[in-house]
Copies of this chain bind each other. A is one copy, B any other.
Amino acid sequence: MSKPSLKSYAQLSGLAASDVRAAIRQQHWQSATAGLAPGFVQVNLVVLPEKEASEFHRFCLKNPKPCPLLAMSEVGDPTLPSLGQNIDIRTDLPRYRVFEHGKVIDQPNDITQYWRDDLVAFAIGCSFTFEHSLIEYGIGVRHIEQDIECPLYRTTIQTGQAGRFHGAMVVSMRPMKAADAIRAIQITSRFPGVHGAPVHIGDPALIGIKDITQPDYGNAVSIGADELPVFWACGVTPQAVVEESKPAFCISHFPNHMLVTDKRNTDYSVL
């Protein structure tokens, strides 16, 4: 079957969230979702069989900073009605990763063929939500300014274990001058549902990052001599945890290729 022609970012960027999802479902868009449907919440995805799902649910409760849980599907149900009309998590993300025993076995644009009646989907908050707010408040977000993907790093910060799920936290990094970093801490503190305040600021070595110029996911960004790296817990953490904890089966979004929902970013501001 031949694929439909892909659309440009310009064609999609003005669309409402539901139209962006429709374009992705029709495979008109297979790239990162940053900047699409501005103002609307994008989420990280984790899909697990029911038994592991209950352990992972506890893992989210224990680790609200990397895994702020916004919604969960019924068993075998690929919809997430609380996040948007007609969401089908099997088709509505541009790219996925399929894991068996902690190893990536496929990175498809659609997971219909992998769907099973015992699967449960978890929608986890994403920092895109607070980035929108940072920019509104006049704080530059370097990877957006440089039009590249956000740099993500594995750290030595250990998550709280729940059942089989354990492992190190993944963080995103945004370099800022001190005054902007302080303001960014205030702004992101209002968004506990999308990682909230940073988990670290300053020396990367203190959280086990040996080389800040070599992110584990995404792209490296420049850091000025008068800037501090500021680190937020990241929704890619579950993928690192799955690689370490090796459940028999798991599906996630492909990093930076998120589910676009009908919720507004402002819905997740607690103040």
By a beta-carbon cutoff of 8 Å, the part of chain A in contact with chain B is: 178-179, 181-183, 185-186, 189, 197-203, 206, 226, 228, 271
Contacts and interface: CB of A to CB of B under 8 A. Distances in A.
Total copies of this chain within the assembly = 2
Query: Which 5 residue pairs of A and B lie closest in terms of their CB atoms, listed nearest first?
Result: A185-B185, A178-B201, A178-B200, A202-B228, A186-B189
A186 B189 CA distance: 7
Q: Pick from A183, A185, A197 the residue with the most CB of B within 10 Å.
A: A185
B185 A182 contact: yes
A113 to B, nearest CB: 43
Contact of A185 (B186, B199, B203, B271): B186
A178 B171 CA distance: 15
Given A178-B206, A206-B178, A201 B186 contact: no
Contacts of A199: 179, 182
Contacts of A271: 271
A227 to B, nearest CB: 9
B202 A182 contact: no
Given A178-B206, A206-B178, A201 B189 contact: no
22 contacts: A178-B200, A178-B201, A178-B203, A179-B199, A182-B185, A182-B197, A182-B198, A182-B199, A182-B200, A183-B197, A185-B185, A186-B186, A186-B189, A186-B197, A189-B189, A201-B201, A201-B202, A201-B228, A202-B202, A202-B228, A206-B226, A271-B271
Contacts of A189: 186, 189
Contacts of A197: 182-183, 185-186
